[in-house]
Amino acid sequence: MHHSAGCMIPFLQMIEYRSSRNIAISLFKRFKNAVERGGGDNLKEFISAGVNAYALGCTDEGLRKELNDMREYGVEIEAMQSYGGTTSLKSKIILEEVDECILWLSIIFITVLCTPQPTIVRWSSTPPVSDNMRFLWKGFCAVIANAYFVRGMAWLPVKTLQLEQMAVVGRAEKPSIVASRMRLVFTTLEVVSPHWPKA
């Protein structure tokens, strides 16, 4: 009896390991798709996958580790299929891409935490975001969430958000980057807590 019980644990760990790796791959593919092809739908696909990862109890650092492990092993990831074509481009994972992908993911997780009522149930008591990420981005996401929920806004002046960054980090990102981060937050809010009925 002892023997079979012993076998059970690694098996469960293996399932856990496989699923978090699959989530990481799926997120990374959608991230690359959103970066390379742009567009609202590609961004929403990434956000939906991110919200799903949040609900399943993933953490930003856990998924970072998965992607970095694959990067170190030289794992190649196939690009998302483009419609009609059967081109499968494989590419190695690059450190900068991992960092940016996880930053986007952290911003999504923090945005979910900024919604007034728990819109997404999380199947884990582990905090989704590292303390450092929360410190860096909580104010940024909160300012946008406040504009969205309290004032029904879907855009803010980039300057306002740069000032928030200056206050927290001591420097601000370029306007175009700040604008894309803002879009990420507003789109996440639209996905998890739609304000206006679709016409």
Structural domain spans, the chain: 2-192
Q: Say if residue 142's pLDDT is above 50.
A: yes
Task: Compute how many other C-beta atoms are within 10 angstroms of the C-beta atom of residue 76.
Answer: 10
Do the beta carbons of residue 148 and residue 182 sit within 8 Å?
no
The CA-CA-CA angle for residues 33, 103, 160, to 5°, reads: 105
What is the reported pLDDT for 163?
A: 96
Digit-coded pLDDT (tens) for 75-123: 888 776 655 555 667 788 889 999 999 999 999 999 999 998 767 888 8
pTM of the model: 0.86
